């Protein structure tokens, strides 16, 4: 049974930072705080200067059982803008003013709440409240769009009578809606449960002699992030990885390989087991034709020629052997990104391709962040801005899951005519 207005035991011992900003709806944050505490959450309240004009910190202090934080600079205190988000499972801003939404979208840090958002890694839930047509102002629309694109959950305010006496769109979302959004953000998604994903990651190393090889700049971080995210979302995951320095994600079965040939074999033998294949590895296209068993000496040589031959095209070969698997590939490009990615999608018979421009500053090989465009077989394009690779992994899995579901619903047996 679900008790109305309660999220149940899922918030037990969850650490939530409740940001309160200068809206007339600030008094509703008092009731929200009580509901969170009742559901077992440990709540730290952060107030803006404007918020304190509406409700006193004392109210929140007494009800939360913790001091309220209001300042970046406070004598004899730890750096709250770092410690609060570090310890938090989620940050909830309710009510959120147009001002605080704009600051968050622009990355400003001129008070404790906004500075905290710049250092936080946990889910962010924003419940706006605003009057006088602010919600439909182009600037607010743009900033809300930016926050949503970065993965924040921004709740739509509700329509109804506002503090000004007008009827409009801007009332703080109902408490139950906010509580449900927090619960959803904190409850692990299990939407990949029952699926078996084969993920490839990292570079390959193609030997020249026992001490030298040809490789590339892939760090493996993107593929590892996908494996980790898929496992967290309930999938059984096998990660076939070239040599990397990335820690192995928990609960993921790892198959380590060095060369493109080894990777081909490892992937092919597990293809039939899988329901989806995500090829994030940067596999060498060419390898030395005649690797030698002894170290090549430089003595007496002013130049050295290396003859290369094509390696097996893993994506094309898996694609040819596939039965019902969803196939996702990556296109790391330096120019004509979309055109090259679309060609690869078609040539390799993929369902989805993740196109990323590796020359983008702060993105690509080695970086913890990446930006990408997802292109599906029907020509649908989803542009994803620069974000942590783990967040990008979730965004890729979201799109792949939609494609998997629509494919599985099309594969469902046709009902017998007249049957129910
Ligand atoms: C009575 C009153 C009610 C207000 N209510 C809202 C509101 O609901 N939403 C909003 O965006 N701004 C509202 N404002 C304006 C904000 O308080 C103002 O933009 C302030 O700078 C926000 O600061 P903060 O975002 O740091 O809390 C209100 C102002 C007053 C005087």
358 pLDDT higher than 90? no
| pTM for the structure as a whole | 0.60
335 is catalytic: no
| CB-CB contact of 172 with 129 (8 Å) | yes
pLDDT class of 6 with cuts at 50, 70, 90: very low
DSSP-derived letter for residue 203 is B
pLDDT at position 419 over 70 = no
pLDDT one-digit tens code per residue, 11-41: 888 999 999 999 999 999 999 999 999 999 9
Q: Quote the mean pLDDT of the chain.
A: 89
Q: Which domains does the chain have, with CATH numbers?
A: 8-186 (3.40.50.1950), 196-288+308-411 (3.40.50.10300)
CB neighbours of residue 74 within 10 Å: 12
Distance CA 218, CA 216 (A): 6
3-state class (DSSP) for residue 46 = strand
- For position 414, what pLDDT does the model report? 42
Distance 20 CA to ligand 1 centre (A): 11
Q: Does the pLDDT value for residue 315 go beyond 50?
A: yes
Ligand 1 binding pocket mutation candidate from 50, 110, 134, 135 (most atoms within 8 A of CB): 50
Residue 394 — pLDDT band, cuts 50, 70, 90?
A: confident
Q: Which residue's alpha carbon is at the smallest distance from atom 11 of ligand 1? A: 97
Check residues 282 and 332 and name the one with the higher pLDDT: 282
**Number of Cβ within a 10 Å radius of residue 278:** 29
Q: DSSP character for 240?
A: E
- The answer to whether the beta carbons of residues 128 and 168 sit under 8 Å apart is no
Which backbone phi and psi does 20 adopt, to 5 degrees? -120, 130
Cα 101 to ligand 1 centre (Å): 12
Q: Atom 9 (ligand 1): residue with closest C-alpha?
A: 130
Pocket of ligand 1 (CB under 6 A): 21-25, 48, 50-51, 97-100, 129-131, 134
Between 122 and 334, name the one with better pLDDT. 122
Mean pLDDT check: name the lowest of 78-87, 140-149, 189-198, 272-281: 78-87
Using DSSP's 3-state secondary structure scheme, residue 102 falls into helix
Please provide residue 241's backbone torsions phi and psi, each rounded to the nearest 5 degrees.
-125, 140
What is the predicted pLDDT for the residue at 411? 65
Structure confidence at residue 413 (pLDDT) = 47
Q: Report CA dihedral (289, 290, 294, 298) to the nearest 10 degrees.
A: -70
Summarised one tens digit per residue, pLDDT across range 99-108 is: 999 999 999 9
pLDDT for 28 equals 97
The segment with the largest mean pLDDT, out of 66-70, 198-202, 330-334, 407-411, is 198-202
Q: What is the DSSP string of 193-248?
A: TT-EEEEEESB--EEEETTEEE--S--SHHHHHHHHHHHHTT-EEEEEE-S--SPP
Q: What residue's CA is closest to ligand 1, atom 13?
A: 23
From the list 99, 216, 335, 398, the catalytic residue is 216
Q: How confident is the model at residue 187 (pLDDT cuts 50, 70, 90)?
A: confident
Those residues whose C-beta lies under 8 Å from the C-beta of residue 324, and which sit 6 or more positions away, are 275, 407, 411
How far apart are the C-alpha atoms of 401 and 372, rounded to whole Å? 17
In sequence order, which residues have a C-beta less than 8 Å from that of residue 28 and are 6 or more positions away?
94, 95, 129, 172, 175
| Confidence (pLDDT) at 79 | 82
Question: SS3 breakdown of the chain: % helix, strand, coil, rounded to 5?
Answer: 35, 25, 40
Residue 52 has pLDDT above 70, yes or no: yes
Compute the distance from residue 22 Cα to the ligand 1 centre, in Å: 4
């Amino acid at each position: 049974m679900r008790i109305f207005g309660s999220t149940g035991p899922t918030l037990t011992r969850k650490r939530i930072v409740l940001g309160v900003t200068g809206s007339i709806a600030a008094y509703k944050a008092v009731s929200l705080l009580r509901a969170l505490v009742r559901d077992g959450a440990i709540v730290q309240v952060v107030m803006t200067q404007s918020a304190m004009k509406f409700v006193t910190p004392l109210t929140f202090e007494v009800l939360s059982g913790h001091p309220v934080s209001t300042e970046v600079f406070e004598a004899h205190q730890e750096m709250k803008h770092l410690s609060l988000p570090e310890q938090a499972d989620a940050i909830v801003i309710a009510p959120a003013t147009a001002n605080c939404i704009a600051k968050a979208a622009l990355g400003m840090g001129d008070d404790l709440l906004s500075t905290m958002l710049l250092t936080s890694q946990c889910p962010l839930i924003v419940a706006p409240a605003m009057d006088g047509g602010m919600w439909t102002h182009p600037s607010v629309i743009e900033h809300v769009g930016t926050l949503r694109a970065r993965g924040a959950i921004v709740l739509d305010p509700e329509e109804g009578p506002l503090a000004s006496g007008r009827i409009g769109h801007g009332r703080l979302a109902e408490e139950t809606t906010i509580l449900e959004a927090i619960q959803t953000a904190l409850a692990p998604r299990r939407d990949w449960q029952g699926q078996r994903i084969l993920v490839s990651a990292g570079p390959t190393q193609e030997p020249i002699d026992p001490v030298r090889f040809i490789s590339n700049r892939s760090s493996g971080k993107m593929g590892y992030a996908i494996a980790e995210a898929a496992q967290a979302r309930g999938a059984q995951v096998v990660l076939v990885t070239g040599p990397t320095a990335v820690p192995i994600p928990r609960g993921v079965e790892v198959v380590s390989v060095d060369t493109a040939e080894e990777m081909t074999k490892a992937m092919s033998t597990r293809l039939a087991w899988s329901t989806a294949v995500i090829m994030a590895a940067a596999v060498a296209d060419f390898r030395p034709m005649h690797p030698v068993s002894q170290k090549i000496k430089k003595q007496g040589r002013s130049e050295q020629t290396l003859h290369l031959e094509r390696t097996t095209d893993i994506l094309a070969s898996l694609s040819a052997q596939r039965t019902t698997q969803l196939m996702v590939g990556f296109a790391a490009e330096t120019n004509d990104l979309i055109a090259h990615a679309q060609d690869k999608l078609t040539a390799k018979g993929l369902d989805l391709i993740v196109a990323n421009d590796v020359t983008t500053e702060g993105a690509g090989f080695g970086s913890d962040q990446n930006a990408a465009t997802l292109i599906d077989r029907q020509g649908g394009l989803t542009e994803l801005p620069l974000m942590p690779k783990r967040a990008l992994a979730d965004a890729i899995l979201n799109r792949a899951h939609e494609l998997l579901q629509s494919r599985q619903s099309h594969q469902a047996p046709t009902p017998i005519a007249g049957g129910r």
